Amino acid sequence: MALLYPDWWFEHITRIPVEFFKERGIRLLVLDVDNTLTTHNNPTPAPGVMEWLSRMKAAGIKLTILSNNHAERVEPFARLLGLPFVAGAAKPLPLGLKRACTQFGCTPAQTALIGDQLFTDILCGNLLPGVCSVLVTMQEPEHSWFFRQKRRLERPILRRFARQHPRQIIGETHL
């Protein structure tokens, strides 16, 4: 179960302060897109995301996008945010994450992966030892059958995590 547990769980990405990363020596943020920076397939970032990215950049934190979605979706979004990206990343395989660390000259311990899904984002972060895995509450439930099954499987794991690690949850998690 530990591989599916995030190190931290925040209500929303914009609720994570710069100090959270500074205190932990984290210099690189590897970001999911759908249901993390905006809702699924939405071309517009969620309210507050652009300002949050600016705060991170101003603090000298490096940012990159790692998404399993296809390039046609990810590329224009990444361009709007002014961030480098990898699409079709095949998370939870940690290859893209490992490459991001190398590319930005950061060790896994200096890196945080932030995303909304346990079976892709959090597992990916946990498969590269040292990386800080940060879950953010999904912004809007997906409608496809496949996604609904994934969310159904996530729920009991999240409930158990919340019971066992309440101090690693910041904000309201809507369980």
**Contact residues for Mg ion (CB under 5 A)?**
32, 34-35, 116
Q: Which residue number, 34 or 154, has a Cβ lying nearer to Mg ion?
A: 34
Nearest approach, Cβ of residue 33 and Mg ion (Å): 6
Nearest approach, Cβ of residue 105 and Mg ion (Å): 26
Nearest approach, Cβ of residue 167 and Mg ion (Å): 25
Nearest approach, Cβ of residue 36 and Mg ion (Å): 5
The three-state (H, E, C) secondary structure of 149-173, written as one string:
HHHHHHHHHHHHHHHHCHHHEECCC
Q: Which residue number, 32 or 154, has a Cβ lying nearer to Mg ion?
A: 32
Nearest approach, Cβ of residue 119 and Mg ion (Å): 11
Q: Which residue number, 35 or 64, has a Cβ lying nearer to Mg ion?
A: 35
Nearest residue to Mg ion on Cβ basis? 34
- Among the listed residues 165, 172, 175, 145, the one whose alpha carbon sits nearest the alpha carbon of residue 8: 165
Q: Which residue number, 152 or 167, has a Cβ lying nearer to Mg ion?
A: 152
Q: Which residue number, 7 or 109, has a Cβ lying nearer to Mg ion?
A: 7
Chain-centroid distance, C-alpha 30:
7
What CA–CA distance (Å, rounded) separates 54 from 48?
10
Residue 174 to residues 15, 70, 148, 162, 163, Cα–Cα distance (Å): 15, 29, 16, 11, 14
Reported as half-sphere exposure (CB side, CA atoms, 13 A), residue 156 has a value of 4
What are the tokens at 126? 């946990």
